């Protein structure tokens, strides 16, 4: 069911862990759905060039596909500028992993959401302008998070 | 590397003695039980012999045992057969528990779409049904109550005798799915006031493709498979003679060995449970600590999702099972654990381990070590600290 590459990334994921003093942290997913992901970014500026993602790490609770897509996104964004990173789509992750089972496509969306959220927080902290697309994505992620929390409030807070 | 199979609740290997008993019925004594010639009689006698063995094991009469292809089919036949046979009498209400196997759950949902009313009985944190609620739910239009005997996920064994008594007093039919419990808990359909009971061959070291529905004498049910009139017209289909012979042989072994076997499995099960709970922080046993199937353990690992644990264990040589949400359409975890009130982290991080006839103490010791190693590995990626 999983591709060889997905299994490789699940069994030996790249860049797991946390970054203290990260420049951007993005959270995506919800324990109700069984996936929770945090992505940490550390930026670096060399000379007059645009800053690039120098370090990236993840922490993920989820299935094998969630861990593999987390690992994949870290490989895909390392060394890229913010503009380049925002162009990465779920299909880039799926291609990178040489395919994902249809039922696991949502895991690639989880990774993209975490990346977008990390970049969003970085840009806000830097007081840089937020691209319209990113603003929209951030609002969608927040909206669906609130919706899930409202819907499963009783279950999540149960003693 | 030999794999450590801890998934006997999913299915069991065929016992070599069972296979030996089955062999003549593939090519040598292969005839159709409905054929009138002597060879047909040989096949028919073999089926009747199995029927007798199985009937006697649950204290039923041979003519009360009907062979089907699977527990799923038996459960479908029980629910649909009883409701359709009684719908003209204004009986349109079915009660099931909230922790039934999918085949009972889905059959009852189908019945609801056909216009029947279906109610679910709640369970407590251990998975025991609420007896008072059951009493209240039964009305004059109730026709059937169906409650699983030993739960397939968390192993909880229901007080079938009490449930049977209530149904008997209120005059409604009582069906129980005993797929997991046959051979692990003594069953006496007479004493337990059971009207219909499902049991399966491949959970007791028999082959896949044979199961029974016990139907108490006098209980009328409508067939759902029509045809040549096999099984007294209740379940047409050419009898799967080798599989039925295998199921008979498997039950014969239970007669002789189940008591000892259950003691052994209980010991191994507890060794496994205690080993994991003691060595891995934050783990939690689902179901009841004592009143559970002798081979079942269900454990939650709060910082790790079930599917990733299952996959990594598989690579490390341990085969287990999960009610993981991640492969289900709505991303919701096991309905059984949710019915028991498990919080999301507990429900998503659960694994079912089931020992069996061929499990050894050495395997359990090895499995515990592998669990510790695998959990420590996966914890490194988890945002949760426990």
B299, B307, B321, B322: which is closest to B372 by C-alpha?
B299
Question: Do B381 and A31 count as a contact with CB atoms less than 8 A apart?
Answer: no
CB contacts of A32 in chain B (<8 Å) are 331, 344
Confidence category of residue A154, pLDDT binned at 50, 70, 90 = confident
Give the 3-state secondary structure of A23-51.
CEEEEEEEHHHCEEEEEEEEEECCCCCCC
Option in B303, B308, B343 nearest A63 (CB): B308
Q: Which domain holds residue B23?
A: 17-253
Asked whether residue B265 is domain-assigned, the answer is yes
Question: Do B380 and A17 count as a contact with CB atoms less than 8 A apart?
Answer: yes
- The arithmetic mean of pLDDT across residues B98-103, rounded, is 95
Cα first-last separation, chain A = 37
- What is the percent of chain B with per-residue pLDDT over 90, rounded to a whole number? 94
- CATH architecture of structural domain A4-156: Alpha-Beta Complex (3.90)
∠ Cα B360 B365 B369 (to 5°): 140
pLDDT tens for residues B245-285?
A: 999 999 999 999 999 999 999 999 999 999 999 999 999 99
pLDDT tens for residues A127-149?
A: 999 999 999 999 999 999 999 98
What pLDDT, on a 0 to 100 scale, did the predictor assign at position B324?
Answer: 55
CATH number of the domain within which B225 lies: 3.40.640.10
Examine the residue annotation and report whether A33 is marked as an active-site residue of this protein: yes
Residue with tokens 């029947």: B116
Asked whether residue B385 is domain-assigned, the answer is no
pLDDT tens for residues A26-84?
A: 999 999 889 999 999 999 998 899 999 999 999 999 999 999 999 999 999 999 999 99
What pLDDT, on a 0 to 100 scale, did the predictor assign at position B325?
Answer: 52
pLDDT tens for residues B279-296?
A: 999 999 999 999 999 999
B307 and B219 inside one domain: no
- The arithmetic mean of pLDDT across residues A104-111, rounded, is 94
Last residue of a domain, which of B226, B253, B280? B253
- What is the percent of chain A with per-residue pLDDT over 90, rounded to a whole number? 86
B223 and B348 inside one domain: no
B337 and B200 inside one domain: no
CA dist., res. B15 & res. B12, Å (int): 8
Residue with tokens 């990465």: A88
Asked whether residue B114 is domain-assigned, the answer is yes
Question: Is the pLDDT reported for residue B328 higher than 70?
Answer: no
Last residue of a domain, which of B253, B283, B299? B253
Residue pair A55/A19 in contact (Cβ under 8 Å)? The answer is yes
Looking at CA atoms only, how far is residue B10 from chain A in angstroms?
A: 20
B171 and B126 inside one domain: yes
- Radius of gyration from C-alpha coordinates of chain A: 16
Asked whether residue B374 is domain-assigned, the answer is yes
Long-range CB pairs of B319-322 (<8 Å, 24+ gap) are B319/B3, B319/B4, B319/B5, B319/B6, B319/B7, B320/B6, B320/B7, B320/B351, B320/B352, B320/B353, B321/B7, B321/B9, B321/B10, B321/B351, B321/B352, B321/B353, B321/B354, B322/B350, B322/B351, B322/B352
What pLDDT, on a 0 to 100 scale, did the predictor assign at position B1?
Answer: 78
Option in B305, B329, B341 nearest A61 (CB): B305
CA dist., res. B177 & res. B166, Å (int): 17
Confidence category of residue A159, pLDDT binned at 50, 70, 90 = low
Looking at CA atoms only, how far is residue B307 from chain A in angstroms?
A: 5
B70 and B36 inside one domain: yes
A72 touches chain B (CB under 8 A): no
Average pLDDT, rounded, for chain B: 96
What pLDDT, on a 0 to 100 scale, did the predictor assign at position B386?
Answer: 75
Residue with tokens 């709970």: B277
- What is the percent of chain B with per-residue pLDDT over 70, rounded to a whole number? 98
CA dist., res. A69 & res. A78, Å (int): 14
B239 and B281 inside one domain: no
B324 touches chain A (CB under 8 A): yes
What pLDDT, on a 0 to 100 scale, did the predictor assign at position A152?
Answer: 87
What total number of domains does chain B contain? 2
- The arithmetic mean of pLDDT across residues B22-47, rounded, is 97
B72 touches chain A (CB under 8 A): no
Tell me the catalytic residues of B.
326
What pLDDT, on a 0 to 100 scale, did the predictor assign at position B38?
Answer: 97
B54 and B197 inside one domain: yes
Asked whether residue B282 is domain-assigned, the answer is yes
Query: CA B356: distance to chain centroid?
Result: 14
B238 and B262 inside one domain: no
Q: Report residue B32: phi and psi, to 5°.
A: -80, 130
B270 and B177 inside one domain: no
B298: tokens are 């269900």
Handedness of CA A86, A87, A90, A92 (dihedral sign): negative
Question: Is the pLDDT reported for residue A157 higher than 80?
Answer: no
CATH number of the domain within which B269 lies: 3.90.1150.10
Last residue of a domain, which of B204, B230, B253? B253
pLDDT tens for residues B188-227?
A: 999 999 999 999 999 999 999 999 999 999 999 999 999 9
Looking at CA atoms only, how far is residue A52 from chain B in angstroms?
A: 24
B374 touches chain A (CB under 8 A): no
Option in A33, A37, A38 nearest B331 (CB): A33
B188 and B202 inside one domain: yes
Q: What ipTM does the predicted assembly reach?
A: 0.94
Average pLDDT, rounded, for chain A: 95
Residue with tokens 């998934």: B7
pTM over 0.90: yes
B265 and B233 inside one domain: no
B2 touches chain A (CB under 8 A): no
CA dist., res. B249 & res. B15, Å (int): 9
B94 and B223 inside one domain: yes
- Kindly list the domain boundaries of chain A, sorted by start residue: 4-156
Query: CA A85: distance to chain centroid?
Result: 11
């Amino acid at each position: 069911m999983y591709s060889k590459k997905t299994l490789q990334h699940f069994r030996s994921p790249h860049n797991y862990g946390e970054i203290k003093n990260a420049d951007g942290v993005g959270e995506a997913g919800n324990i109700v759905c069984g996936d929770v992901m945090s992505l940490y970014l550390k930026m670096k500026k060399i000379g007059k060039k645009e800053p690039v993602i120098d370090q990236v790490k993840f922490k993920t609770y989820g299935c094998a596909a969630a861990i593999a897509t987390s690992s994949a996104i870290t490989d895909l964004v390392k060394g890229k500028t913010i503009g380049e990173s925002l162009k990465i789509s779920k299909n880039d992750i799926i291609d990178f992993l040489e395919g994902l089972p249809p039922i696991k496509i949502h895991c690639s969306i989880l990774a993209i959401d975490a990346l977008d959220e990390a970049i969003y927080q970085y840009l806000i902290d830097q007081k840089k302008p937020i691209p319209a697309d990113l603003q929209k994505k951030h609002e969608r992620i927040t909206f669906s998070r609130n919706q899930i929390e409202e819907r499963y409030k009783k279950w999540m807070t149960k003693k | 590397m030999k794999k450590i199979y801890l998934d006997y609740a999913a299915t069991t290997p065929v016992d070599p003695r069972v296979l030996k008993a089955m062999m003549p019925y593939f090519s040598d004594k292969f005839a159709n039980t409905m054929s009138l010639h002597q060879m047909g009689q040989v096949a028919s006698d073999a089926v009747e012999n199995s029927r007798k063995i199985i009937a006697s094991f649950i204290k039923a009469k041979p003519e009360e045992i009907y062979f089907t292809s699977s527990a799923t089919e038996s459960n479908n036949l029980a629910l649909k057969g009883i409701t359709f046979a009684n719908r003209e009498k204004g009986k349109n209400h079915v009660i099931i528990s909230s922790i039934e196997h999918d085949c009972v759950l889905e059959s009852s949902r189908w019945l609801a779409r056909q216009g029947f009313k279906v109610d679910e009985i709640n369970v407590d944190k251990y998975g025991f049904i609420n007896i008072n609620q059951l009493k209240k739910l039964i009305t004059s239009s109730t026709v059937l109550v169906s409650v699983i005997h030993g739960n397939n996920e968390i192993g909880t064994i229901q007080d079938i005798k009490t449930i049977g008594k209530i149904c008997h007093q209120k005059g409604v039919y009582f069906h129980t799915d005993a797929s997991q419990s046959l051979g692990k808990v003594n069953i006496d359909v007479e004493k337990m006031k059971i009207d219909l009971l499902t049991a399966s061959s491949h959970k007791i070291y028999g082959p896949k493709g044979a199961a029974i529905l016990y139907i108490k004498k006098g209980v009328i049910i409508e067939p759902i498979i029509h045809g040549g009139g096999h099984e007294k017209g209740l379940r047409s289909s050419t009898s799967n003679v080798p599989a039925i012979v295998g199921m008979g042989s498997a039950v014969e072994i239970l007669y002789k060995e189940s008591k000892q076997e259950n003691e052994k499995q209980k010991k191994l099960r507890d060794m496994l449970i205690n080993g994991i709970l003691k060595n891995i922080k934050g783990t939690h046993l689902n179901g009841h600590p004592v009143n559970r199937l002798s081979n079942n353990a269900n454990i939650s690992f709060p910082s790790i999702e079930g599917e990733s644990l299952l996959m990594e264990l598989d690579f490390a040589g341990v085969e287990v099972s999960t009610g993981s949400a991640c492969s289900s359409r709505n991303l919701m975890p096991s309905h059984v654990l949710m019915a028991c009130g498990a919080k999301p982290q507990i429900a998503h991080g659960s694994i079912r381990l089931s020992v069996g006839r061929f499990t050894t103490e050495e395997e359990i010791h090895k499995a515990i070590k592998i669990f510790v190693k695998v959990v420590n590995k996966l914890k490194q990626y988890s945002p949760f600290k426990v």
